[in-house]
Amino acid sequence: MSNYLGNYSLYIALIASVYLIFKSYLDANSENKYLDKNFILITSIQTLMITVSFFSLVAAFVISDFSNETVFNNSHTLKPLFYKVSGTWGNHEGSLLLWLLVLSIFLFIFLLNSRSQDTKYKLLTILFQQIIISGFLVFILLTSNPFKTLYPIPSEGLGLNPILQDPALAIHPPILYLGYVGTSIIFSASLASMISGNIGNKWARHIKKWVLVSWVFLTIGILLGSIWAYYELGWGGFWFWDPVENVSLMPWFCLTALLHTVIVLQKRNSFKEWTIILSITTFSLSMSGTFLVRSGILNSIHTFANDPSRGLFILSFLFILILMSILIFFFNQNKISNTAKENFILSKETAILVNNWFMMFFLSVVLVGTIYPIFLEVLNGSKISVGPPFYHNLLIPFLIPFLIFMSFGPSLKWIKDKLKKFNYNILIIFLVSLLISYVILTKTENSFLLSIPLIVLSIYLLLVTIKDFFVSRSSISQKISHFGFSLLITSILLNGLFSNEFNSNMKVGDERIFNEKVVKLKEVNVKDVDNYKSLKASFEVTNKNSSFALYPEVRIYQQPLTITSEADIKTTLFSDNFLVFNILKDDGYYNVRYQYKPLMIWIWISTIFISFGGLLSVIRKNEQKY
């Protein structure tokens, strides 16, 4: 029953989408000054139908309806209820249905919150958003239908990928999708505003809310994925430049630049071209990420599907959307004119412009590192892997001037600032930064030349952002986000400088000495837990003054047959002690990797600060920003 209900609901939603496309196009070219009430009614029906379809799939997972092919491929009767529900979007078909649900909900919310906007602008936004929605509806119904049925009905399912059975990852996709899909509203609204010729301060205030919401959700989504990879995959770090990690990072760079650009548009009625171009680029990158993940082109633990036909459909759809947006931009470019013409070197506008260029450079490096191996394989069949050294060698040198600009850019004034008299407070902060950096660098044997300016500037930026809290109470959300970013950069740099590890094969009773610590494997206990067999090891780590225990685990799942390693991590405010072990073929021996990771928790906390600053900016309507 749920299969038929979910399937037919999608067809009704598609009919509604086709109606809204033609109706919005006709009304946008008429002289009607008021939005037809049928738009909200039909949009409500469409949203309701997609919601019904999505929860029909959820119900099929909950009751283990193996007549549904998607449920059969991704669930099992032994799965806990929480992972049955999260299994709804832990696969290709279900994740696309979730994407479609968020698309429709966002459009409905947009209509409810745009009553004061120009009618033609709203109609064109509906038109472009419905083109996107209809494209995903056709894609799902033709190539990725989550309601395909099986006969005869299997008695048991194949099971959800065990590495996806984790609380952080269960909520990671929905939150990430809120960030991705939010860019579609920004894209549609930007094209609509360009055609209707209402790009200005009022529109900037309106669209900034959507930019902020998308940016906050994308930031939190990336954070959750990073935390999951840290403790679940056993990599022992927060970022590995995995291709699918990069896919989420690229639109974040664009959204960050767009957020600052929209603020300039709101305050100075300038940077209109930047705003439109970044809006189009951000959505294009989100769609490109969908293509790369869904096509199976990327070789990553995160990929869902390996079906070139699906990838070809998304690539063709993406090409149509980008071509449409480019044509609209060039044919309507004459409608974009900046009211503010002043261009002073020493001003907040210039600082934001420089910030945008840095973001575009960082984006370009990540884009090339992610896409180049794909093109190389297509051209000559060669397979290469672009790893951390590529990104570090290109990004780190440019991080130095970026930190310099960020340390003084937010304190500049609009239009034009003056060179002030010598500021002794700044000198004192810089000298304190030098002193702290000297103490830190004497504790490490790192010989990387750029470590010195990076540490000095990151600590200087951190101290400056702390000082800004005491200067004035305005723009508190901006200060919180900037403080979070400076804390993030400082934590990452110090983590990279002081992290160390050892890797060894051990059996029960063995000891290893590492950095004045003794690591001993005391025992390994085997027991059956829920739907997997658990091998839990007991390690004792002893140093001069204290000792603590770590209990990493190996899980052997039967549905499907998979072996995973669950790290155990002892976290303090200053460091993480990370330990993971794996089964070896040699009887009685286990591969053990122990890592000391300083300031790991501050990487997570700093990202929370960044997100909280953005969230505060959304909910505090009367706050003076920038």
Question: 3-state SS of 495-547?
Answer: HHHHCEEEEEEECCCCEEEECCEEEEEEEEEEEEECCEEEEEEEEEEECCCCE
Who has greater pLDDT, 35 or 559?
35
- Predicted local confidence at residue 418, as pLDDT: 60
Predicted confidence at residue 172, as pLDDT, reads 85
pLDDT number for residue 218? 95
Confidence grade of residue 276 (pLDDT, cut at 50, 70, 90): very high
Strand partners, 593: 503, 580
47-56, 399-408, 580-589 — which one is most confidently predicted on average? Answer: 47-56
Distance of CA 343 to the CA centre of its chain: 34
> Token pair of 293, please?
């993940």
Q: Each residue of 217-254: pLDDT tens digit?
A: 999 999 998 888 888 776 667 888 888 888 899 999 99
Question: pLDDT tier at 345 (50, 70, 90 boundaries)?
Answer: low
Predicted confidence band at 565 (pLDDT cuts at 50, 70, 90)?
A: confident
The structure tokens 């610590």 sit at 517
The first and second tokens of residue 340, run together, are 């503010």
Confidence of residue 301 (pLDDT cuts 50, 70, 90): very low
What amino acid is encoded at 448 in this protein? F
Closest CA to 156 of 561, 562, 559: 559
Residue given tokens 């990487």 in the structure block: 603
CA 130 to chain centre: 24
Q: Report pLDDT for 455.
A: 92
Residue 452 CB burial class (10 angstroms; 0-12, 13-18, ≥19): middle
**Residue 61 pLDDT:** 93
Average pLDDT of the chain to the nearest whole number:
86
Q: Within 10 A of 547 (CB to CB), how many other CB atoms are there?
A: 11
pLDDT at 624: 45
Q: What pLDDT does 240 receive?
A: 85
Q: Of 329-343, 488-502, 529-543, 597-611, give the lowest mean pLDDT range.
A: 329-343
**Residue 626 pLDDT > 50:** no
pLDDT digit string (tens) for 361-419?
A: 999 999 999 888 877 876 777 777 788 889 999 999 999 999 998 888 777 776 665 65
Cα–Cα distance measured from residue 144 to residue 189, given in angstroms and rounded to the nearest whole number = 28
Between CA 581 and CA 596 the distance in angstroms is 15
Asked if residues 16 and 45 have their Cβ atoms less than 8 Å apart, the reply is yes
Instruction: Give the pLDDT score at 530.
Output: 72
Spatial separation of the C-alpha atoms in residues 165 and 87, rounded to whole Å? 8
For residue 604, which amino acid is it?
A: W
H or E stretch at 332 = none
What was the pLDDT predicted at 295? 58
Question: Which DSSP string corresponds to 406-458?
Answer: HHHGGGSPSS----PSP-HHHHHHHHHHHHHHHHHHTT-----TTHHHHHHHH
On the question of a cis peptide bond just before residue 152, with omega within 30 degrees of 0, the verdict is yes
Q: Quickly state the pLDDT bin for 170 (edges 50, 70, 90).
A: confident
Using alpha carbons only, give the angle 239, 240, 245 rounded to the nearest 5 degrees. 75
pLDDT exceeds cutoff 50 at 625: no
Asked whether the predicted pLDDT for residue 519 surpasses 90, the reply is yes
Distance of CA 479 to the CA centre of its chain: 22
Alpha carbon distances (Å) from 127 to 21, 28, 39, 162 = 5, 9, 11, 41
Per DSSP bridges, beta strands 561-566 and 511-514 are unpaired
pLDDT at 349 over 80: yes
Q: Are strands 561-566 and 568-571 parallel, antiparallel or unpaired?
A: unpaired
Which pLDDT does position 155 carry in this prediction?
A: 85
Pairing of strands 532-542, 547-550: antiparallel
pLDDT given at position 262: 94
pLDDT greater at residue 585 or residue 41: 41
Least confident among 18-22, 69-73, 282-286, 336-340: 336-340
Sequence-distant (≥ 6) Cβ neighbours of residue 343 within 8 angstroms: 349, 350
Higher pLDDT, 44 or 622: 44
Segment 428-435 shows an average pLDDT of 92
Domain ranges for the chain: 1-165, 501-600
At 32, the pLDDT band (50, 70, 90 cuts) reads confident
pLDDT in tens, 457-492: 999 999 999 998 888 777 899 999 999 999 999 999
Q: How many CA atoms lie within 13 A of 162 on its CB side?
A: 21
Does pLDDT of 46 surpass 90? Answer: yes
Between 489 and 566, name the one with better pLDDT. 489
Residue 156 main-chain phi, psi, to 5 deg:
-150, 155
d(CA 434, CA 374): 44
pLDDT band at 91 (very low <50, low <70, confident <90, very high): confident
Question: What's the whole-model pTM score?
Answer: 0.90
Residue 454 confidence (pLDDT): 92
C-beta separation of 345 from 351 below 8 A? no
Alpha-carbon distance of 237 to 127, in angstroms, equals 44
Lowest model confidence (mean pLDDT) among 234-243, 314-323, 332-341, 597-606: 332-341
- What pLDDT sits at residue 343? 53
Cα Rg of the chain, angstroms: 26
In angstroms, rounded to a whole number, what is the distance separating the alpha carbons of residues 123 and 558? 53
Query: What is the tally of helices (H) and strands (E) in the chain?
Result: 17, 10
Ranges 162-166, 173-177, 375-379, 480-484, most confident: 480-484
